A and B are shown apart, each in its own frame.
Chain A
Amino acid sequence: MTNKKPKNVFQPGAITSEFIGNSIYKHQTKTSIGAHNIFLGQVRADEIDGKTVSAIEYTAYEDMANQKFHDIRESAFAKFDLTCMHIYHSLGTVKAGEICLFVFVSSPRRKVVFDALEYIVEAIKAEVPVFGKEIFEDESHQWKVNN
């Protein structure tokens, strides 16, 4: 474990495909990498009691959340042979169909990245204090809960 200060994982609004594409591009100089794996969480237009979710408004206990993201990162590096790892999560409003979570892991070999990605995404869902208000088209809302 290192004692590096936690990075800020949060970005205002949706994570764009340009940002994601650019992140992939930046890894072309890291030629020890043989495999990337990417998870993209997308806001689903769930239909609940006849109403459709049009967006999720994300809030977080930011200091604790960034510390948890940091702990997950450290524990993934300890468990798996990863070259690098990036996590980005949205805050604020993300519309249905837009990306709210981007997890990017890279390793010399492919098997590692499949296992590492699942471990990281499951840990984020369970351990990080992020809250989601599902906004319906009629502007009523309910609170999202991970299961």
Chain B
Amino acid sequence: MQITIKYFGQLTEITHIEEETLEISGTYIFELLETLYRKYNTLKTKDFQVAQNQELVSKETELTGAEIALLPPFAGG
């Protein structure tokens, strides 16, 4: 399925883009991450959480096709 993925903060220094839409063949978040790790080698060394449809999800969550965001540690305030 086609999934839009957004990158934030220091992760954009690895991806050099803030957003892209990719064809993902897997069923779960971790399968999407494997695709991204192949595309961006150093992404795996970074600390981040994953949001699907603006809610934090675990790696075992099923992909729904909604927007995915990779969120590095928060720094508000």
**Cβ A64 vs Cβ B75 within 8 A:** no
Known: A61-B69, A64-B51, A129-B51. A100 touches B8 (CB 8 A): no
Pick from A59, A63, A121: contact of B77, CB under 8 Å? A121
List the count of A-B residue pairs having beta carbons below 8 Å apart: 70
Interface size on A, residues (CB 8 A): 28
- In contact, B77 and A129 (Cβ under 8 angstroms): no
Contact of B74 among A67, A121, A125 (CB under 8 A): A125
Asked whether B76 lies within 8 Å of A61 as measured between CB atoms, the reply is no
The range of chain B's interface size is 10 to 19
Interface string of A68-98 (1 = CB under 8 A from B): 0000000000000000000001000000000
Checking B6, B51, B75, B77 against A143 with a beta-carbon cut-off of 8 angstroms, the contacting residue is: B75
Q: Within 8 Å CB of B76, what residues of A? A: 58, 60, 65, 89, 101, 124-125, 128-130, 132, 146
A sample of 14 inter-chain contacts (CB < 8 A) reads A41-B77, A61-B8, A61-B54, A64-B69, A101-B77, A125-B76, A126-B74, A128-B74, A129-B51, A130-B74, A131-B8, A143-B72, A146-B74, A146-B76
Interface residues of A (CB under 8 A from B): 41, 56, 58-61, 63-65, 67, 89, 100-101, 121, 124-133, 143-146
B residues engaging A (CB < 8 A)?
6, 8-10, 51, 54, 69, 71-77
